[in-house]
Chains A and B, each alone.
Chain A
Amino acid sequence: QVQLQESGPGLVKPSETLSLTCTVSGGSVSSGSYYWSWIRQPPGKGLEWIGYIYYTGNTNYNPSLKSRVTISLDTSKNQFSLKLSSVTAADTAVYYCARDGGVLYWPDPWGQGTLVTVSS
């Protein structure tokens, strides 16, 4: 079955760019029918959808983060990535990647998540 694994720095300085990668196994990011998502969860708080990318490269971002977010695909490595620019302490969270069916569907499965702390 499809498995996802997040990777990237656990500490990012304020005003810098957060960069994370999600490696997919057991399935292909190039296959149709699925979107590849990022979702985050600040410590002790709820879940926030960041956005997703389709295998064609089309993206859909949360308007609250749109000006700072880029999600991209690397089909040669079967990975997709998240970049969040100009980070502040409010961006400290566990970041999850997930496979999603798109509108009217749902994110599942999810990666285990990775904690990113924004601090100098």
Chain B
Amino acid sequence: DIQMTQSPSSLSASVGERVTITCRASQSISIYLNWYQQKPGKAPKFLIYSASSLQSGVPSRFSGSGSGTDFTLTINSLQPEDFATYYCQQSYSTPQTFGQGTQVEIK
């Protein structure tokens, strides 16, 4: 199985700040890396596919980059509704695997 490791596990940030979350794969997954946002009691919401493509309807302050084994999710100008847990997921091979999550909290 491909292991996905996110860092940090949690972070505190203020509204308006820029936030970066890193995801590392245990082997190369090309660009087949997706990002999800999850709020308490809700299903994950799909944000970004294929490392850098924004899902329709997702605000442009979200962006993704990377290829191979190292990827980042950036949120420019953090908004109150962005406080949540973020997961990366590789779809390069089965079993699909997810990172352990990064919780973004209000400072």
B96 within 8 A of A: yes
Mask of A63-87 contacts with B, CB within 8 angstroms, 1/0: 1100000000000000000000000
| Complex partner residue of A103 from B46, B49, B55, B91, CB under 8 angstroms | B91
B98 engages A48 (CB within 8 Å): yes
Complex CA gap A109/B46 in Å reads 8
| Complex partner residue of B32 from A46, A96, A104, CB under 8 angstroms | A104
B64 within 8 A of A: no
B92 engages A103 (CB within 8 Å): yes
A108 within 8 A of B: yes
B44 engages A110 (CB within 8 Å): yes
Residues of the A chain whose Cβ atoms lie less than 8 Å from the Cβ of B95: 49, 51, 62-64
Q: How many residues of A sit at the interface, in one of the four size bands?
A: 20 to 34
Output the nearest chain A residue to B98 by Cβ-Cβ distance: A47
Instruction: Give the B interface residue count (CB, 8 A).
Output: 22
Complex CA gap A102/B55 in Å reads 17
A window 42-56: CB within 8 A of B = 46-49, 51
B46 engages A49 (CB within 8 Å): no
Complex CA gap A90/B96 in Å reads 20
B100 within 8 A of A: yes
A112 within 8 A of B: yes
A103 engages B93 (CB within 8 Å): yes
Residues of the B chain whose Cβ atoms lie less than 8 Å from the Cβ of A103: 91-94
Complex CA gap A110/B46 in Å reads 9
Residues of the B chain whose Cβ atoms lie less than 8 Å from the Cβ of A110: 43-44
B98 engages A104 (CB within 8 Å): no
Name A residues whose Cβ lies closer than 8 Å to a Cβ of B. Answer: 46-49, 51, 60, 62-64, 96, 103-113
Q: A46-B101, A63-B95, A103-B93 given. 4 additional CB < 8 A pairs? A: A51-B95, A62-B95, A104-B32, A104-B91
A–B Cβ pairs within 8 angstroms, 11 of them: A46-B98, A46-B100, A47-B87, A49-B94, A51-B95, A96-B43, A103-B92, A103-B94, A104-B32, A104-B92, A112-B43
